[in-house]
Amino acid sequence: MKELLHSLLGTLTGTDPRDIRHALKRDHDELLELAEALCEGSGGANRRQRFDRFRELLRAHSRSEERTVYRALQRTGAEEAKDFANEGEVEHGSVDALLAKLSRMRDLDSEKAHAHFQVIKEMLEHHIEEEYGEMFGLLSQHFSAEELAQLGERFESAKGSLATRHRKPLAREEATA
């Protein structure tokens, strides 16, 4: 899978490192690594920590992608771009539902949890393959290099604010525990 994804990324060579596609690729690499680790063996408390990190990163990534990339694609007015953005949001919602089920599970080493992790990993691989194969082309077609860099900066900013907002309640809860 990684070989296929990296072959689809050949067009990024020599592009601005702020380009949205670089930011997405960095997140995708980490998400895939975490998803693979969650699908392997048992892990007890370590699995819960990996799951929490995976869920947090995926949530911040998905919401930021929706707010920056998908909205930008929808604003192009191109049907193909709008369709891709709408489908992406539906896929994000499907994964959110699976993550919510996993969050309620006490035993993340159970067979049921493992099946959820496997399905999420497969959905993630499919989604990433579509983004690299279709969305990156749409971005190249509809946005200049400078606009792609601006999208990357907005994406990272949105992701950072989501992570900060999400962590504040946790820090307060831990301080009172």
On whether residue 110 sits in a domain, the answer given is yes
Q: What is the pLDDT of residue 43?
A: 72
On whether residue 143 sits in a domain, the answer given is yes
On whether residue 146 sits in a domain, the answer given is yes
Q: What is the pLDDT of residue 164?
A: 62
Rounded to an integer, what distance in angstroms lies between the CA atom of residue 154 and that of residue 170? 25
Q: What is the mean pLDDT of residues 44-52?
A: 87
User: What is the three-class DSSP state of 146?
Assistant: helix
Where b means 16+ CB within 10 Å and e means fewer, 28-47 reads beebbebbebbeeeeeeeeb
pTM across the whole model: 0.83
Residue 177: band (very low, low, confident or very high) from pLDDT cuts 50, 70, 90: very low
On whether residue 174 sits in a domain, the answer given is no
Task: Tell me which amino acid residue 29 is.
Answer: D
Q: Is 149 left (phi over 0), alpha (psi -120 to 50) or beta?
A: alpha
On whether residue 172 sits in a domain, the answer given is no
On whether residue 75 sits in a domain, the answer given is yes
pLDDT at 88 over 90: yes
User: How far from chain centre, in Å, is Cα 64?
Assistant: 9
Q: What is the mean pLDDT of residues 42-65?
A: 91
- Tell me how many domains the chain contains: 1
Q: Residue 54: give the domain boundaries.
A: 18-163
pLDDT tens-digit map of 94-150: 999 999 999 999 999 999 999 999 999 999 999 999 999 999 999 999 999 999 999
**Contact at 8 Å (CB) between 113 and 43?**
no
On whether residue 168 sits in a domain, the answer given is no
Q: Which residues make Cβ contacts (< 8 Å) with residue 41, sequence separation at least 6?
A: none
On whether residue 169 sits in a domain, the answer given is no
Q: What is the mean pLDDT of residues 73-81?
A: 96
SS3 per residue for 162-175: HHHHHHHHHHHHHH
